[in-house]
Structure 1
């Protein structure tokens, strides 16, 4: 019989989605035994919905509970650093929503704490999972796609006044950024997951849609370490909502499904250059096994990493790569200069990209 791991979910907003999509479909692997939230009404509502009796308002109380194997941090981004580090130091395994933390300095501190910890840390990038994206990844990893040429990422979403009625949203101190941090970070992660590391960024950010502190429009020209070129564009002012990732390789054109919040689920458009390439792809995918999308597969693979010593499906280094791009974006936009990656402690925004007036 498989061991069931006990989970405490901290933050009952997106934390509810973790329960519905991640833990309940994997009920033979996980059991949510505790909830933590500052809002007692929401805490009681979610607790009653899922039959969780242990309802905590003080996060520190969770750290001393010996029966909790995993602390799942789903709080506003500004609270992530202390909760993740304290959980690791308490010997817990940790899941943390994006963005993991709010600077390269902080992510390096988390990585250092992780090295000293007995538990494992998995940041959340749930958009990586599903049949569409995993078939694309398999084709690329098998060498069938060939040399990467160019790519585009379009994150055209819609956020209006009701979204920003939540007090912590749209503010530098608590959200740590706008469309670049809270929205486009997912498609950008998918792009680097498939296309590799970024070498250079020339980016722009602007606030054009909503009366908020942080940006809601971005655009950038990207050079990959492979030499491939790319462009990223995102806005929160779109009328409809799509996430579109299009990749051009030597032998294959790959385009994502356009579903804004689950681009990895449906099969992607795969256009082989000729019949030989098509035959290789058909052979590779002939015995394909269905991969559930989003949290269901990410949590299942986290279980395998904890219990069966499989690789983590998302790592703190993946989060660092995402935050390095964010840092480069903000620096390039403010200086009107190209930024060369990777970025280390000598970079001007290493300690924080948040403008000094808002820290």
Structure 2
């Protein structure tokens, strides 16, 4: 952009997600953004990252970097337990934020982030990249406009595979560092897309289990969700599935819409099946013709965040929009711990699950765990 100074960006946390997802997104916007600094507590990892990606300066702490660089945009890519402080400090320093999921480990922490935002920016946007592929946005419009009829039944599955070695990383699979298991760490992507398509949820009944992995949390969860519209959804999150798949299906009165992918989708991954009574070929063709392809990705989300920065408006996947997904995750855990159906309206500050996803439940052992194990 001729004559316009580039935005100054910094990356906090220089592990795999920063290298594999955030740096490519930042490079795609190189005409607008200059990556000026990186932060990591591991000096060797920080040095490798800077050398590989030609990042001019490195810091061992967020506070030091913010004071020296005054960035416009900060990408937070640390393990989940370190997110909230990095996000809050960046916002208070005047930087907009793109933070990896989960943005934080509780609704209480999410509300700390909201309190640090200011009208007109800066804001913090949570990585929810599956909302932003062209085909996903097309499906959301069709559903919002009633073009597929009334949503009735949905099936949302994140059936992935993470072996025992994956959990040798000390912070994974631990309540106090990751926040939870595949529900919050993996399935949150597909559940977020489900909410983007079907809107507000009302109540949830869930079970969780620790069947095979050496973790403190669950390695599988299953839930039934009732939406405000009356639609019902079945949700499965698992890291025990050798044949990996992400699957979403919504049956409406006039059509079924399906998405099958793994870690990201394109237009061709979506399918529309008309009900027998729907015979208008032009109507069906409109369903099956999304806009020019934009794959679901960090790049797609970053583009929308930059648009919001230009206009000083709240970006997608921030504030209440991001909180809604964390509310669903929180209620899923609360239902699994307590054995009862949990309504969205119950998630208030006097609820222990508002403060911790495990509700500080003492001595809890997930169903399916061998007797004598501890949580």
Alignment of 1:163-182 (within 5 A): 163-182=166-185
Residue 346 in 1 paired to residue 323 in 2?
no
Secondary structure, aligned partner of 2:354: coil
- 1:292/1:264 CA distance change after superposition, 3 Å: closer
Task: Using the TM superposition, give the Cα deviation of residue 272 of structure 1 relative to its aligned residue in structure 2, in angstroms.
Answer: 2.3
1:33 CA drift (Å): 1.2
Matched with 2:14 is 12
Which runs of 5 or more structure 2 residues have no equivalent in the other structure? Answer: 364-374
Of 326, 330, 333 in structure 2, the residue corresponding to residue 327 of structure 1 is 330
Larger displacement relative to structure 2 (342-351 or 21-30): 342-351
1:37 Cα deviation after fit: 1.0
Written as runs of structure 1 = structure 2, the 5 A alignment for 1:58-207 is 58-115=61-118, 118-207=121-210
Q: 1:115 & 1:175 partners in 2: Cα distance?
A: 28
CA contact (8 A) 2:10 2:73 kept: yes
2:264 maps to which residue?
262
SS in 1 for 2:176: helix
TM-score w.r.t. the length of structure 2 is 0.89
Change (3 A) 1:242 1:49: same
SS at match of 1:220: strand
Query: Is contact 1:128-1:264 (8 Å) kept?
Result: no
Moved more, 135-144 or 282-291: 282-291
Which of 249, 252, 255 in structure 2 is aligned with 1:252? 255
Picking from 217, 220, 227, the partner of 1:224 is 227
8 Å CA contact 1:209, 1:236 repeated in 2: no
Aligned length in residues: 358
Provide closer, same or farther for how the CA distance between residues 48 and 142 of structure 1 changes in structure 2, counting only shifts above 3 A: same
Residues 1:357 and 1:37: Cα distance change in structure 2 (over 3 Å): farther
Deviations 1:221-280 (A, max 9, x none): 1111000011101211101100000001111210002x2211456440111235555423
CA contact (8 A) 1:131 1:266 kept: no
Range with bigger deviation, 112-121 or 44-53:
112-121
1:107-146 CA distances to partner (integer Å, 9 max, x unpaired)? 1221122147841211111122223322212322332012
Higher mean C-alpha deviation, range 262-271 or range 153-162 = 262-271
How far apart, in 2, do the equivalents of 1:236 and 1:316 lie? 29
Q: Residues of 1 paired with 2:45 and 2:66: CA distance?
A: 22
1:18-77, CA deviations, whole angstroms, 9 ceiling, x for partnerless residues? 334311112122221111111222212221111112111122112213541111111111
Residues 128, 294 of structure 1: 8 Å contact kept: no
1: CA distance, partners of 2:120 / 2:356: 25
- 1:205 to partner: Cα distance: 1.0
Cα distance in 1 for residues equivalent to 2:225 and 2:266? 23
- Residues of 2 paired with 1:326 and 1:240: CA distance? 24
Deviations 1:170-229 (A, max 9, x none): 111111101111001111001000011111100011111201111110001111100001
Residue 39 in structure 1 maps to residue 42 in structure 2: yes
Give the aligned CA root-mean-square deviation in angstroms: 2.2
